[in-house]
Amino acid sequence: MIGYQLLERAPLRARNTFGVEATAALLADVRSPAALAELLDYPLVRQSEVLILGEGSNLLFAGDFDGVVIAPATTGIQIIEEDADRVRVRAEAGERWDDLVRWSVGRGLHGLENLALIPGSVGAAPIQNIGAYGADISQSLAFVEAFDRDQHVHRTLAAADCVLGYRDSLFKREAQRWVVTAVAFDLRRSADLRLDYAGVREEIAAMGVESPRPLHAAEAISRIRARKLPLPSLLGNAGSFFKNPSVPSAQSEALADRFAELPSFADGDGKQKLSAAWMIEHCGWRGFREGDAGVAAQHALVLVNHGHASGAQILSVARRVADSVEQTFGVALEPEPRIIGARW
Ligand code: FAD
Ligand code: EPU
């Protein structure tokens, strides 16, 4: 069996959660590591710009993509090592992230429960070190298997070599170099749950659970997420459109004098992280709509496509949102999703 399937002038609307129209000059779903190496060795592919595509839940196509889109499609979740305390689990890049979370909490394992219901593929999880509800994957990552396009070899990178940060990693910084093919996590048979994020304990109590296990934490967080964030299948979006900005403490204190309610959190190194959602809402954008592009009524940090907005129209709203936040607060917002076909 040939390990990949090629499509020319491939439509991408069903492959991005904003649901915007775009085409790729060439698209390949790749089903084995050998096929990936073979495909990346073609002169045409070596000379083209390459975009690695998971489920398209953190991308905005502002135009067509004139290069080669490669979608890793290998699947499988396996325990590769275990002892009395720890279980090392390896998952292929093409698995759905939430399926891995369900697989782990279903076995009573600790480590991924706070990351329940984050859309996307396992292969994309290290790209921005996905995080939510007081956790991110850096706390449980064991290693990443990736194809290195510079050296043309498969490599295994230890967690410490992945340079994971807030919505950041080596793979994000060197996007043309790496194709993540599998990810492994060290999960615990027992550990304290991280339930401090606002609303999580209350949700578990409302579920009538007195001694929560990872399964309950995942369920509580899924319920909160389902209330807070629009479902991409009903309303196109890519989750948070902007990162929460980190500013020097002096700047955050000066802002607190003017905006006493602006949420801010210690971010190490004399910095404070500010709530982008709060600032955007304060500027009056929540629920804004122009044509089919807009800002979610449910959550001010989420840009949405009500049906037939183009990526360029969504980007235009994003720029105006960021400009008004900069004028009001003196803080520059940076997009979280990767923008294809335009510069921020
Ligand atoms: P894609 O969108 O396909 O790709 C994203 C980036 O990763 C691109 O640059 C792409 O080139 C690269 N990439 C993808 N796969 C690979 C690979 N195998 N190798 C190399 N590069 C690759 N994120 C959070 O961190 N926390 C949240 O709470 C959260 N909530 C969300 C809620 C909603 C409703 C939505 C729509 C998104 C949310 N996100 C969140 C963002 C998104 O789910 C994550 O970033 C996810 O990891 C993206 O996975 P994907 O497979 O869709 O990646
Ligand atoms: N808020 C508003 N208006 C809104 C929404 C929120 O003022 O419309 C304020 C409230 O004060 C609220 C605070 O913002 O308490 C925080 O809101 P939320 O808990 O939704 O978190 P967030 O900072 O907006 C971040 C991540 C999310 C992640 C949640 C939960 C970023 C950019 N976003 O959002 O990740 O799910 O925390 O941990 O860090 C994503 O990356 O796509 C994503 C959804």
- What is the tens place of the pLDDT at every residue in 15-29? 999 999 999 999 999
Ligand nearest to the CA of 273: 2
pLDDT average, residue stretch 98-126: 98
Residue 23, pLDDT score? 98
Ligand nearest to the CA of 238: 1
Q: Whose CA is nearest to atom 32 of ligand 1?
A: 239
Residue 54, pLDDT score? 98
Position 318 pLDDT exceeds 70: yes
User: pLDDT (tens digit, 9 = 90+) per residue, 247-302?
Assistant: 999 999 999 999 999 999 999 999 999 999 999 999 999 999 999 999 999 999 99
Q: How many CB atoms lie within 10 A of CB 209?
A: 15
| Helix and strand totals (H; E) in the chain | 9, 20
CATH topology for 77-228 is 3.30.465
Name the residue of 114, 240, 264, 304 whose CB sits within 8 Å of the most ligand 2 atoms, as the mutation to test its pocket: 240
- In our burial notation (b when 16+ CB lie closer than 10 A, e otherwise), range 255-286 reads beeebeebebeebeeebbbbbbbbbbbbbebb
What DSSP string runs through 22-69?
-EEEEEEEE-SHHHHHHHHHSHHHHHS-EEE-SSSSSEEESS-EEEEE
Ligand nearest to the CA of 194: 2
Ligand 1 contacts (CB < 6 A) are 17, 51-59, 72, 93, 118-121, 123-125, 127-128, 130-132, 171, 175, 178-180, 229, 232, 237-239, 338
- Locate CATH 3.30.43.10 in the chain: 4-72
Chain Cα centroid distance, residue 58: 6
Residue 227, pLDDT score? 97
- Locate CATH 3.30.465.10 in the chain: 77-228
Residue 211, pLDDT score? 97
Q: How many CB atoms lie within 10 A of CB 81?
A: 12
d(CA 191, CA 98): 21
d(CA 236, CA 294): 10
CATH topology for 236-340 is 3.90.78
Position 180 pLDDT exceeds 80: yes
What's the DSSP call for residue 85?
A: S
Position 2 pLDDT exceeds 80: no
d(CA 155, CA 161): 12
Any idea which residues carry the catalytic annotation?
Answer: 167, 240, 336
pLDDT band at residue 1 using 50, 70 and 90 as cut-offs: low
Q: How far is the CA of 158 from the centre of ligand 1 (A)?
A: 21
- Locate CATH 3.90.78.10 in the chain: 236-340
Position 241 pLDDT exceeds 90: yes
Ligand 2 contacts (CB < 6 A) are 132-133, 198, 228, 239-240, 243-244, 263, 275, 277-278, 281, 286, 299-301, 336
Note the pTM of the prediction, 2 decimals: 0.98
CATH topology for 4-72 is 3.30.43
Q: How far is the CA of 277 from the centre of ligand 2 (A)?
A: 6
